Structure formats: C-alpha cells, structure tokens
C-alpha cells in the first residue's frame, strides 16, 4: 500500500508539472501570436531636438499649460545606465527584449486570466533632472509607465514627480507630469484630439497637449502631455477629491473580481465596496435594474461616456474591451460613479455599435428599451451638437504642424490623410448606424474578464 501511495503521489506530481508546463507553453504560444498579430513594436521615426526658450505659454492659471497651441520643449537628463534599464522595463517584470517581448506578454496573459488577482507593477523609480521650456528642476523622480501597447518602444512613456525625492519643488502648481509616447498612433495627434472631443461634449476627462521630448540627448519627437489622474484632476473636474477613485484594466463588475480594481487615492476604499454595490445591482432583473443601479452609477452620464467610446471607436476602452478607464464615486453626486476615459492611444475601424456591448453595463442597458433609446438620442446629440468637421479638421492641421517640427517621418502625410478622412467620414458612418439604433447585447454575461 505504501508503494502504491508513493507511485500515485509521484504520478500526481508529474501530472501537475505537465499541466504547468503545458499552460506555460500555451501562454508563450499565445503571446507569440499576439506580438505577431498586433505588431506591438514601434518603428519610431527620428526626432528633431527642440531649443529651450522661455515662453509665455508655459503656464496657465499657475500650472503647466494644456493649451493645444503650445508645444512644450522637454529635456530630461539622468544616469545613462539607469535610463537603459528604465526604457527596457515592463510592468510585468521581464525585460521588453526578453524573447522579443514574448516573455512580458506571456506574464500579462497569465495575470489577465486570473480576474481576482491585481496586476503587478514592476516599474522602478529613478532620479533625473528635467527642463521644460527653459525651466529646470533637479533630482525629480521618474519612472516608466504603460500597460502593454505603449511599452514596446525605444521611447518610454514616463511619469515624473518633482517632489518624489523629499524636496519641495514644482513647476509652479504642477508637481506631477505625465508624458505618453504615442507609440500606437503614427499621427501623434489622436490622444489630444479625442480628449478635445470629450471636452467639447462637456464630459469630465483629462486635458492634453503635446511635447517634444529628449532624454539624454536622444530626441524622441512628439509625446502627449496628459493631465495626471490624481486629486488635482478630481478637484478640477468634480470640485472635490475625497471620493473613491479606481483604475480599471481588464476588469468588469463581478464581486469575485474586486481585488483587480486598483484604488488610486488615500480616500479610496481598498476593498472595493463602492464597486460591489454596482455588482450587486447588476444581478437584478431588467425591470428592477435601472432604479437600483442609478443609486450607485450616474446612468445618464454613463450613457454619454458609452456613446463617446462608440463614436471615437475606442475599441480598447471599457465598453468594448473592459480596459483603459477610471471610475470616480463623486460626493457631489450622491457618491454615484462617473467613468473617466484613459488610454486613448489610437482609433479603431469599427463601423458597428455591436462591439460596444461587450462590458456588463452596456450589455445590460442595451437590453432595456428606456436606456437603449437614451443611447440613440445621446449619440444623435453628439453628432449634431458636438461633432464639428471644420473645427476638428482645423485642430488636426494645427497639431500636425507641431508634430512636423519634432520628427522626420517620410510617411507622415499618408498617416495624416487617413486620420482626416476618418474624421470627415465618421458622422455619416454614425448616422447610418443610428437608422437601426443600438442592438441588444448578449443574453448572458461573460464569465471571464478577458474578451
């Protein structure tokens, strides 16, 4: 009997090892396929260094400006060895060059399928000197940022904290600077343009303009200078900062998945009880859902967010991919939740509303006549009152003139023409979709947090 138990135990170990090995193999194969299919590595055109000059446009209302007419000149100096390590980091641990990025992607896939496990954040802080428009601050904190799509680039997206190293320094009222590398957008314009459309729709969203960035004398061209998601943003957008703020990445409203929601401020409940209330409301039948859900989510505001994501073909946002968003429980709105867009790195080619019924909120609300009709009405309002071809075309022209001072891209005009054509055709595409209106979402919710 003892011999049989030993053999059985050995067999179980072998099966476990084989299962682990097979899972690892499958993850690596899948990661390989993703890297090949989506071509995540950026072929970045050479940048053109900018010249530091004092400018009247650097500050607005005491903080670094988000005026789209102002192009920042940013120069960062740091230890060269630190820079080489930082630029090659991934959030998930492995170096981005390890097995051509497949190793980092495989680790992401492993975590992505464990919906009740927080994603790791393996980025490290370093020390640098930063100069913006001839104004220099020394010994700031700097780290790489980005989830997946933006990390496979020689030009790292970065987050800078001027008082990270226990010093009371800032660019006037600005002590947090976020610079995104635009690696998924060849025009370098889309993030600023999309957030301008949110602004025109009077929807709470971060502000953005552009910067010409050099690190250690290596010119990287155009970055997006985007408003950091912190208490200062909350004060500006909502008039308070003591509500609960969560970031959502590959996540939806399911009580078992609460650990995946990332609490972003000291005021935010780390256990996720405000999220739990929405999860429980979504368990109700259609005839009870709206009244209960509206106590915890500003449904009318969510419908605007939903329509904007569909209008802008944000196929890596919440509604389509349950990714790239923040959610704020606003004390000035009876602690109801408002979605905040993030990660607007590129526009999709969607000519259908169906893709924006994936997440649980749009899936359920699309199946209720009252809220489905509201979506159609809101989308019509957006294309009638917010979407302005002439204004958006002018924005593109102005932004493109800034981009072309900061990089040498022989294919830039083709990329620009594609974006301009998309903008000018988008209204007619949406009008044709509104003839049928929003379709109904699927009968059953997704059981996994990955699509």
CB 95 within 8 A of CB 89: yes
Final residue before a domain boundary, out of 203, 231, 259 = 231
The two tokens of residue 24 are 């690892």
220 shares its domain with 243: no
245 shares its domain with 296: yes
**Tally of domains in the chain:** 2
Distance (Å, rounded) from C-alpha 200 to C-alpha 381?
A: 12
Final residue before a domain boundary, out of 197, 231, 265 = 231
The two tokens of residue 79 are 């230890």
200 shares its domain with 285: no
Final residue before a domain boundary, out of 231, 259, 279 = 231
CB 337 within 8 A of CB 387: no
Q: What are the distances in angstroms from CA 411 to CA 41, 45, 169?
A: 17, 10, 41
- Looking at residue 223, its pLDDT comes to 98
Distance (Å, rounded) from C-alpha 62 to C-alpha 80?
A: 33
Residue 309 within any structural domain of the chain: yes
75 shares its domain with 186: yes
- Looking at residue 28, its pLDDT comes to 60
78 shares its domain with 147: yes
Residue 40 within any structural domain of the chain: no
Residue 13 within any structural domain of the chain: no
163 is in which domain, residue-wise?
Answer: 59-231
Residue 72 within any structural domain of the chain: yes
Specify which residues 404 forms β-bridges with. Answer: none
Residues of the chain with pLDDT under 50: 1-23, 25
Q: What are the distances in angstroms from CA 436 to CA 78, 352, 353, 354, 384?
A: 56, 11, 10, 12, 18
Query: Helices 369-381 and 299-311, interaxial angle, to 10°?
Result: 50
Give the pLDDT confidence of 17-61 residue by residue, as tens digits: 334 444 454 556 555 655 555 567 889 999 999 998 878 999 999
Residue 221 within any structural domain of the chain: yes
The two tokens of residue 254 are 């399911």
Residue 273 within any structural domain of the chain: yes
Which residue's entry shows tokens 């859900």?
Answer: 293
Helix, coil or strand: residue 94: coil
Residue-wise burial string across 288-305, b where 16 or more C-beta atoms lie within 10 A, e elsewhere: ebbebbeebbbbebbbbb
255 shares its domain with 203: no
261 shares its domain with 382: yes
105 shares its domain with 203: yes
210 shares its domain with 292: no
Residue 392 within any structural domain of the chain: no
290 shares its domain with 180: no
- Looking at residue 88, its pLDDT comes to 95
Distance (Å, rounded) from C-alpha 24 to C-alpha 30?
A: 10
Residue 332 within any structural domain of the chain: yes
120 shares its domain with 178: yes
Half-sphere exposure of 69 (CA within 13 A, CB side): 6
- Looking at residue 5, its pLDDT comes to 37
CB 264 within 8 A of CB 282: no
The total number of residues written for the chain in this structure? 451
Give the pLDDT confidence of 395-424 residue by residue, as tens digits: 999 999 999 999 999 999 999 999 999 999
Q: Name 329's Cβ contacts closer than 8 Å, sequence gap at least 6.
A: 243, 244, 245, 274, 335, 336, 337
pTM of the model: 0.92
250 shares its domain with 355: yes
CA 229 to chain centre: 11
Which residue's entry shows tokens 């990660």?
Answer: 343
């Amino acid at each position: 009997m003892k011999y049989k138990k030993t053999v059985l135990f050995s067999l179980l170990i072998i099966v476990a090892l084989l299962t682990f090995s097979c899972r690892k193999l499958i993850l690596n194969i899948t990661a390989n396929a993703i890297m090949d299919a989506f071509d995540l590595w950026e072929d970045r055109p050479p940048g053109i260094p900018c010249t530091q000059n004092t400018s009247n446009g650097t500050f607005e209302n005491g903080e670094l400006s988000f005026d789209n007419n102002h192009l920042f000149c940013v120069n960062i100096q740091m230890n060269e060895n630190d820079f080489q390590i930082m630029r090659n980091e991934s959030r998930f641990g492995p170096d981005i060059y390890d097995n051509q990025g497949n190793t980092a992607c495989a680790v992401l896939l492993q975590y992505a399928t464990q919906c009740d496990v927080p994603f790791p954040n393996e980025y490290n802080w370093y020390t640098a000197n930063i100069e913006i428009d001839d104004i220099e601050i020394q010994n700031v904190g700097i780290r790489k940022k980005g989830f997946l799509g933006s990390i496979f680039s020689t030009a790292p997206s970065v987050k800078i904290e001027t008082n990270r190293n226990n010093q009371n320094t800032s660019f006037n009222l600005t002590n947090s600077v976020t610079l995104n590398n635009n690696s998924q957008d060849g025009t370098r314009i889309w993030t600023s343009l999309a957030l301008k459309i949110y602004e025109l729709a009077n929807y709470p969203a971060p502000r953005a303009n552009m910067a010409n960035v050099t690190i250690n004398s290596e010119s990287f061209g155009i970055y997006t200078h985007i408003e950091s998601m912190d208490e200062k943003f909350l004060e500006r957008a909502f008039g308070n900062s003591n509500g609960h703020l969560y970031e959502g990445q590959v996540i939806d409203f399911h009580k078992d998945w609460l650990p995946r929601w990332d609490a972003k401020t000291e005021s935010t409940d780390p256990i996720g009880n405000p999220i739990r209330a929405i999860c429980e409301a979504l368990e109700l039948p259609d005839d009870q859902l709206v009244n209960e859900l509206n106590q915890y989510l500003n449904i009318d505001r969510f419908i605007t967010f939903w329509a904007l994501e569909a209008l802008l073909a944000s196929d890596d946002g919440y509604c389509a991919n349950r990714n790239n968003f923040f959610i704020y429980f606003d004390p000035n709105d009876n602690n109801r939740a408002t979605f905040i867009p993030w990660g607007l790195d590129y526009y999709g080619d969607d000519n259908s509303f169906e893709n924006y019924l994936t997440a649980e909120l749009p899936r359920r609300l699309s199946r209720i006549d009252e809220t489905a009709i509201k979506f159609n009405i809101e989308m019509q309002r957006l294309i009638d009152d917010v979407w302005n071809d002439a204004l958006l075309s002018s924005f593109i022209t102005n932004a493109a003139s800034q981009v072309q001072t900061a990089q040498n891209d022989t294919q830039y005009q083709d990329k620009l023409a594609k974006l301009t054509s998309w903008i000018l055709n988008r209204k007619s595409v949406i009008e044709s979709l509104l003839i049928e209106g929003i379709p109904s979402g699927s009968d059953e919710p997704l059981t996994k947090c990955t699509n």
